[in-house]
Chains A and B, each alone.
Chain A
Amino acid sequence: MDNFTIVGQKIPKIDAPVKATGDALYIQDIKVSGMLHGKILYSKYPHARILKLDTSKAETLPGVRAVVTAADMPPNFRIGVMKDNPPLKSGKTKSIRDEIAAVAAISTEVAEEALSLIEVEYEELPGIFDPIEAMQEGATLIHEEVKSNILKMPWKLVCGDVETAKKDSAHIVEDTFSTQWVTHCCMGTSGCIAQLDASNNLTLYSNTQIPSLAQNDFIEALNAFGYKNRRVRIIQSVIGGGFGSKLDTYAYEYIAILLAIKTRKPVKIIFSREEEFFATSPRQCTITKISQGCDKEGRLTFREIEMILDNGAYTSWGATTPSVMMLPISSLYKVPNIKYVAKCVYTNNTYCQAMRGYGNPQATFAIESSLDQLAEKAGIDPLEFRIRNSNEPGEITPQRFKITSCGMKECIDEVAKRLAWKTKKEHKGNRGVGIASLIHVGGGARVYKSDGCGTIIKMDDFGKVDVFTGASDIGQGSDTVIAQIVAEVLGIPIEDVNVVNNDTDICPWDVGVHASRTTFVAGNAALGAAKKIREQILEAAGKLLEEEPSFLDIKNSIIYSTKDKEKSTPLGKALRKIHYTLGGKMLMAEYFYDPANENFDREFKGNLSVSYAYGAHGVEVEVDKETGQVKILNYIAAHDVGKPINPLLLEGQIYGGGLQGIGYALGEKMIYKNGRLMNGNFLDYKMPTVKDVPPVQAVIVETDEKDGPFGAKGIGEPGLVPTAPAIANAIYDAVGVRIKDLPITPEKILKALKEKQGRT
């Protein structure tokens, strides 16, 4: 199977037609008979004591079917990574998104009116909105029972000996960088429908990106409600964007379940855009103190990082992003000595979650900005400096990552060539070039006890196949990639592959859409199942055709002998014969693929992923010194992705990720003032529009990843990882000011230019 006809081709997404015609059903579009509509009341203050909560008026409003508060939740029921988040809050509210009551009614309008009838009296309390302040001795405790605002999640990685390396370094730089909150802006807002049957089994219509883990969470919830050993079925709608936002379960889902229990009716909760802005969990903001050194030849000697993350009032996966930050910190370029310490700090701000890159963008912004400073100090061209320190195949990094395939140098070369780096570096006049690289997991990531994905394949009587996969398609195109793999192995057209991915009752387990793992892990699972069923088909067909199975092949849905031209049969016909025969059978196969990667040990070391993805972004900018405006003249995004299974989709990930990265670098910021979101709408939150698209080239650098399905590695997240530092470096090259705090706004550039002038 060397000449692939489907794998490696630019094949349109198989779910695109239903999306182009408006037939795709998102969670907003799904109705269940008898359904009620739920709405949530949030705290008026980021930190307050609830003195009185009176729901009686709301309850009597016609059309209202239930009003719930914390008193209706099982006592001590908490959600989240640290189990510090009651889905409905009582006593004290700790952030502006604290849910304190909810209503189920016959329509959204009635539910909203009911919310306005709930009477709440608060005593506003002074809040803590700055993590540094929250870390001070004697600071007000956000969670009194926890005794400290610093999370008991001590992130610390030490490799080699940084102190000695510092002494031996020829050049050292040290600086502090910070990043802002940004939000996913999924165009389809969050939502769910919770429905209980007569035996209190739960069906949840959801747009989660972790169906199997969500199932677990809700089983726990039913237990807490007193419904022991019940079944939970997650049915996913078409998902209107994920980017990490749906990687956890949220209060609103538990509230929908509670309302369904109270009313014995299905209850739908859909977020308004306003809620989507303030009540979902953004990418965490960070303060990063970084120091790096190199020897006389420009070889990196050490990297030391101290980081503070604003955890907000509760804990979701955002608090665990330092685990992924360790990846670039320890292993972006060859650095023998590493020290990294991170603290997550409770405040009265919003709490954070996974968002594309999972900490990597924040860490890479600091590392790659600082690296440019170091190159300058060492008097070496920044691109040359990166090549000198580039990762290589076969390397084992200080954190014990085993680098298999690695196209980092080739990516940097592509940037140099396509940007005309040497010429552009000399040409000035407010123009400049910048580069930054990335490393990310590309072969799954063992952050959970299993990193697996299951697949079941069922052949029908006509030579067509149904593939049941655990993997969720959140728009990235995993269904298409899976269909391509199965079609390739079975020698059938892709139209004959139907991928079913949205129902935990029929689909096998999968850990979820994260860590850019789906093509690699779900792809391998599909490949394993396809190979198994192919064997079964050929085995059975061998009997029909009286031929050794090893001489049989399938092409265009015809099973034929490679030895004897006379011996062939259409696949469908063979399947019917196998089926409609005394003692016949339906052909089915299953395969569970769990990559041979490792959980971190206690020191946070181990081979987290089976393979690692690389890339380099280069950018040319022009900075207007009068206005501070940055114009991107040319953007090159080169990515090592192994062997591409579908270049069309792959480039789509790079373009999409790239523009999210540009938004992160130049405009997007959730402005929180004293715990309140000031710009929770599309007018004031600067998500890029089509007018922000620069001239951009997505460059695929092929390597062959031996463990990947058809040689592929993951690409979901990398597209936005090095964008911000590449742009920051280009701005520095253009006008000599370095902006260390994202986003890089015209105001910050003007201020820095002024300061620079003052100095000279």
Chain B
Amino acid sequence: MKYEISFLLNNDKVTVEVDPVWTLLYTLREVFGLTGTKEGCGYGECGACTVIIDGQAVNSCIFPILEVEGRHVTTIEGVASKDGTMHPLQKAFVNEGAIQCGFCTPGMIMSAKALLDAKENPTEDEIKDAIEGNLCRCTGYVRIIDAIKSVSKGR
């Protein structure tokens, strides 16, 4: 049995037929072809699939698609400006060396963005809290923390 739902996806209004067992991650990747959101585990433990729903960072791999109805979803594809200019966080991740294999990067940036959108000048502990659920095997996190710090206000 399929349901029709509507929501805001990267600022575009979308309407789509979904199967209620689908997750948001599955829908993003398989229906909308937005493969920037990654699956690292599929059970809420790695953060690779992080997207922002109404300002909150969530693991899209365990987020039921029906609950997206009427909400505002931002994925990594919706972070840069329309003209393609990278978001300051994306630039910082690039310039500070916070990216190696890059598989964790979209999720990491989404978690960081949710934090910075809510709080312009977070402490290091708040940064760590915000990305604790985002695993990265390559970087040792040092440069990721630096990158996020570098775009906090007042720095």
Contacts and interface: CB of A to CB of B under 8 A. Distances in A.
A656 interface: yes
By secondary structure, the A interface counts as: loop
B102 A240 contact: yes
A577 B77 CA distance: 42
Contacts of B43: 273, 681
By secondary structure, the B interface counts as: loop
Contacts, number: 158
Contacts of B140: 652, 655-660, 693, 696
Interface in B1-44: 29, 34-43
A682 B36 CA distance: 22
Contacts of A146: none
Among B45, B102, B136, chain A packs the most CB atoms within 10 A around the CB of B102
A53 interface: no
A465 B75 CA distance: 34
A476 B41 contact: no
Interface in B67-118: 75-77, 79-80, 86, 90-91, 93-95, 97, 99-106, 109
A691 B128 CA distance: 6
Contacts of A658: 140
A649 interface: yes
B35 A659 contact: no
A689 B137 CA distance: 9
A238 B99 CA distance: 13
A19 B106 CA distance: 7
A709 interface: no
Given A474-B101, A683-B45, A689-B132, A17 B86 contact: yes
A16 B94 contact: yes
Contact of B143 (A241, A475, A477, A655): A655
B46 interface: yes
Given A186-B137, A682-B135, A240 B94 contact: no
B143 A652 contact: yes
A693 B141 contact: yes
Nearest to A186: B137
B52 interface: no
A517 B58 CA distance: 40
Contact of B48 (A21, A187, A242): A187
Contacts of B128: 690-691, 693
Among A21, A188, A238, A682, chain B packs the most CB atoms within 10 A around the CB of A21
A185 interface: yes
Given A187-B46, A477-B100, A29 B77 contact: no
A709 B121 CA distance: 42
B99 A16 contact: yes
A185 B135 CA distance: 10
Given A187-B46, A240-B102, A21 B76 contact: yes
Given A652-B143, A691-B132, A693-B141, A20 B94 contact: yes
A701 B136 CA distance: 27
A19 B45 contact: no
Contacts of B41: 273, 681-682
A243 interface: yes
Given A12-B94, A15-B102, A475-B100, A690 B38 contact: no
A26 interface: yes
A26 B35 CA distance: 9
A188 B101 contact: yes
A143 interface: no
Contacts of A23: 36
B135 A689 contact: yes
Contacts of B104: 187
Given A185-B137, A475-B102, A683-B45, A273 B40 contact: yes
A187 B103 contact: yes
A150 B95 CA distance: 51
Contacts of B29: 29
30 contacts: A12-B97, A13-B94, A13-B99, A15-B102, A16-B94, A17-B90, A20-B86, A21-B77, A21-B86, A22-B76, A26-B38, A29-B29, A185-B135, A187-B101, A188-B40, A240-B38, A242-B101, A475-B101, A475-B102, A655-B143, A656-B140, A657-B140, A681-B43, A682-B135, A687-B135, A689-B141, A690-B128, A690-B131, A693-B128, A693-B145
Given A19-B105, A187-B137, 13 more contacts: A17-B90, A20-B90, A20-B105, A22-B34, A188-B101, A240-B103, A241-B103, A243-B137, A475-B138, A655-B143, A687-B135, A689-B141, A690-B132
Query: Which 4 pairs between the two chains have the least Cβ-Cβ distance?
Result: A22-B36, A475-B101, A19-B102, A240-B103
Interface of A: 10, 12-13, 15-17, 19-26, 28-29, 184-189, 238-243, 272-273, 474-477, 648-649, 651-652, 655-660, 681-683, 687, 689-691, 693, 696
